[in-house]
Structure 1
């Protein structure tokens, strides 16, 4: 038998290339194999295009959007496509859903943090919340918890007002028939997680007791409860890389993919303001490549704005402060939204062996997983098993639009012995010791209310002109008091579900430990929860808006409805940085929709140009 908590430190060390095995257990060989795979991948020679090689399209960032876009553009054999990714390839550990938290704070993660927060993250070291951001081919879909949500249909209707229409793009991607609202002919595997803990089953029943309908939250009606739908295939992670790049990487000769290559600048002609390529660094050597048609930023909501500013596109104030000559005045990074959450309430149960992250994993589980079974604990998406979307009594959303999501996880900070999850989230040791450590070796689960529509707005700016310095990122979590009030109602809803007859069959009991900083307040009062919300602030890394889309009349817009950077020719941004308002759900699916839409726009423009030129 093996406890996942016992190999977490070992796995983290192995991921950064240290060939150290701390304990003897069935997973040792898996993590050793992953580390060896990473080292071989790094050392292996990859063809790097000579300086000034010309490609029709250069895509910066092999994440959710970049992988799909590279797939779609390389469908045309006349077009040459270069995809540049700063991270490496996925390995055997990326495939295993249960260890998703282990992938944070590794080389697959940029390991960013917020600036010290004034109104949130009080329970984190230096008041800094972690900001996970994928650094691998597949981007954040290579390290996330794989939850697939489209958001609400009204979100898409609102985005049309900003000039971008994503209708009819969702079903094109999927290849799993979960309901009449899904498709089975696309490349992206979306499925229900086959393994379900006893706790999750009772949680879904409890939510129904509380008045929530059983729904397909990616279907017509979102309000209700469901087991999680995930981007997995037969219990293995189905990242953007696995779905859209691996099947074609070596068969399409017009597609070239390079890893471990960090783009440091977009080359823009200062006279014509035309983007004509990028500069990137591979093995400490700088290279330059040129684009015949377009350069496309798909580096994500944290890196795309950083690259624009490093290239002279941004506000005069931001660029002047770090000594970068300005080429185009645009409000890059002036808007940043992220969905803040509260880590808890936490509940104990009378079950045995149902808490997943710290639950025992047997050699039999491992053997069955590699034999193709999707029903082992290893295929659980890090313990996140069920989602409830609801509209609280103080919500201002339309009656069919939720304002709170409750993510139920059969895990907690103590289920791994206070190791990887605490470290990944940046929680202080005293928070763990005083509020959660007594839960070690006890079955429990965590409910995480997610604020779907935060009013608090943040921003992002350059720390300095060094392209390898992380940007300064201030989400301004909980600056607006109403965000706290909505989360408070979400906490009450989670407790209401836990107190239903179905949940009492497993004796779901609220864990009553005041978190440090809130000891002076009576537990479970509104004032206590308001305090706890600011201490146990947490996030699901759903960053949007830093290069937001909008009509020409919108002074806050960075890109046009065609996703073209305003004032710069032949440069587009295709990722979640363009999304103008938060969706009612997670954002991985939205990034794919943006890329699908962009591919259509690009094809229409350049295929039309081709027909015109051929006809001359």
Structure 2
């Protein structure tokens, strides 16, 4: 366990140094200055935006350019220098940029610290685009067709959504720019996208070809399946958060104001169920009321958005009444929670490499993105693989202990079997789970964390499929490249799998549950079709909309960051059209 102690000590020292930089707030001049002192209770703005997160920053920026007054009410702080340096992302967790939520205990988290999942949810201007792993995806044609069918609104089909994707993206990868694939991306948007091309991964691509998969320049509408270098929201070593791309250019726009460290505790309605404003707990612990001339836009994320709606009287009647909350609209807020169940797989490579100093300006792993369909006639993936080579135990332990929060014992057992060897670190994601979780109120105190229950694998079909897909992928160990390295699967020796033959179907099912984790793609808790309509208006009330990952009715076949940006662009267009802006 000495390696564990050293990794913990090293990680803690770096976090302590970064916390000191946070207190200095050296980057404050780059962002809109706090409007807290200048805003008094009773003031009104054309639009109140609740939560300056991934979506909220885009909506605020777009509206502020339309000559209307916009107030963003953000519970967190301004981004600090360390949040922008791409390679420092592992050190942002469990700090004041994060709500630090956890899920309820369940059997899939037996081998995680505390028996729960530590949920990453941004509490900072830029939201989770400040905290996430910067891996970008927008889904596929099937995903948006499903949304259009659910909402009975063809404006959500891929052909109609693509202009919004193009408006957002700024692909800077030279290989894409010089290929026909550039037609499927934007090049003039505000979120820069790049790939890390590395010869280190060539052998893995050879293995994928040997397994019958395509290796492609880009995964897009033309090529929805195959393996390719992953897209990252990174440019010149700087994280491309929506705060960086959309808010920073508007920091001096007089139409845009931002209140920091201020929590919206309730949406207020008149007798006609029209949202007229919000109640805010300010940074100096005062409660004030602010009013919206036009609309209140909730962009607080998949956990805080449903929590706020329920505290405001919008949600399941029985749950609200059990908390003595007057019901304004009886709709299934908090239901339909979805995520991509994710498994960690470790392969030991027969390669020893000296440890090189980490470059904080670079993402620490050259990630490959693979989308695989079991049915060869299918044009969308059943599972996604995000993987890369880890060259030393220290980096592995940081990822194992802190990014994925596995227990010391699990991480130590893997290190014992792989000491001084490179690892192929694989996250294997079930893209279309059938299980549905929920978010509930823990209390009527808006500062309390909501109850988050993802209910992973509660639909038995999810477990059957994911175990099958993991077994399917693990055949890579039989390829020529793997054999040339004398590479092998690393069994973490989970106690619950004792006595099961490694590689058997029973073993893979046990493994799937035990090594389950998440990449934090939470969606669905204020879903289109049940909680909001296709124009993102909350059902049963007026002048209130939601626009973040919570409105996604069915999870998409990739990371959700790009889709959230699309939703933000969509609501911006809807508001512009409705109000003639």
Q: TM-score, normalised by structure 1?
A: 0.85
Distance 2:288 2:91 in 1: 33
Corresponding position of 1:246: 248
Q: For 1:248-271, what per-residue CA distance to the aligned partner results, in whole angstroms no more than 9, with x for missing partners?
A: 111x110112222221111122x1
Structure-to-structure mapping, 1:3-82, within 5 angstroms: 7-15=10-18, 17=19, 19=20, 33-37=21-25, 46-48=34-36, 49-77=39-67, 79-82=68-71
Q: Secondary structure at the match of 1:325?
A: coil
Structure-to-structure mapping, 1:120-139, within 5 angstroms: 120-139=108-127
Contact 1:407–1:447 (8 Å) recurs in 2 = yes
Distance 1:413 1:425 in 2: 17
1:437 to partner: Cα distance: 4.4
1:330 to partner: Cα distance: 1.1
Q: Secondary structure at the match of 1:205?
A: helix
Distance 1:60 1:533 in 2: 38
Q: For 1:552-596, what per-residue CA distance to the aligned partner results, in whole angstroms no more than 9, with x for missing partners?
A: xxxxx0011110001111000001111111111110001011111
- CA RMSD of superposed structures (Å): 2.4
- Does residue 585 of structure 1 match 2:573? no
Corresponding position of 2:261: 260
Query: Any gaps of 5 or more consecutive residues in structure 1?
Result: 20-32, 354-358, 367-377, 551-556, 611-616
Distance 1:209 1:300 in 2: 41
Distance 2:491 2:110 in 1: 19
Q: Secondary structure at the match of 1:306?
A: helix
Distance 1:68 1:143 in 2: 17
1:436 to partner: Cα distance: 3.9
Distance change >3 Å, CA 51–CA 34, structure 1 → 2: closer
Match of 1:576 among 546, 549, 561: 549
Contact 1:203–1:498 (8 Å) recurs in 2 = no
Distance 1:125 1:321 in 2: 32
1:98 to partner: Cα distance: 2.5
Structure-to-structure mapping, 1:282-431, within 5 angstroms: 282-353=283-354, 359-361=355-357, 365=359, 378-380=361-363, 382-383=364-365, 385-392=367-374, 399-411=378-390, 414-416=393-395, 418-419=397-398, 421-431=400-410
Query: Any gaps of 5 or more consecutive residues in structure 2?
Result: 1-5, 177-181
Distance 1:534 1:266 in 2: 39
Q: For 1:15-49, what per-residue CA distance to the aligned partner results, in whole angstroms no more than 9, with x for missing partners?
A: 5x4x5xxxxxxxxxxxxx445327989xx983321
Corresponding position of 2:75: 86
Q: Secondary structure at the match of 2:170?
A: coil
Corresponding position of 1:277: 277
Contact 1:101–1:421 (8 Å) recurs in 2 = no
1:407 to partner: Cα distance: 1.0
Q: For 1:379-400, what per-residue CA distance to the aligned partner results, in whole angstroms no more than 9, with x for missing partners?
A: 22x426111100125x9xx710
Distance 2:129 2:206 in 1: 30
Distance 2:33 2:427 in 1: 44
Q: For 1:184-217, what per-residue CA distance to the aligned partner results, in whole angstroms no more than 9, with x for missing partners?
A: 11111111125x372x332223222222112211
Contact 2:35–2:258 (8 Å) recurs in 1 = no
Contact 2:111–2:515 (8 Å) recurs in 1 = yes
Corresponding position of 1:446: 425
1:323 to partner: Cα distance: 2.1
Deviates more, 1:342-351 or 1:561-570: 342-351
Corresponding position of 2:143: 155
Q: Secondary structure at the match of 1:486?
A: helix
Distance 2:249 2:476 in 1: 43
Distance 1:346 1:490 in 2: 16
Whose helix proportion is higher, 1 or 2?
Answer: 2
Corresponding position of 2:518: 539
Distance 1:300 1:412 in 2: 35
Q: Secondary structure at the match of 1:333?
A: coil
Structure-to-structure mapping, 1:591-606, within 5 angstroms: 591-606=564-579
Contact 2:7–2:397 (8 Å) recurs in 1 = no
Q: For 1:295-346, what per-residue CA distance to the aligned partner results, in whole angstroms no more than 9, with x for missing partners?
A: 0000111110000001111112111222222222111112111111111143
Q: For 1:468-514, what per-residue CA distance to the aligned partner results, in whole angstroms no more than 9, with x for missing partners?
A: 10000111001122212222233223322343223444443222442
Q: TM-score, normalised by structure 2?
A: 0.90
Distance change >3 Å, CA 513–CA 128, structure 1 → 2: closer
Corresponding position of 1:171: 166
Distance 2:109 2:70 in 1: 42
1:405 to partner: Cα distance: 0.4
Distance change >3 Å, CA 349–CA 151, structure 1 → 2: farther
1:247 to partner: Cα distance: 1.2
Corresponding position of 2:88: 99
Distance 2:337 2:391 in 1: 29
1:418 to partner: Cα distance: 3.3
Distance 2:488 2:370 in 1: 19
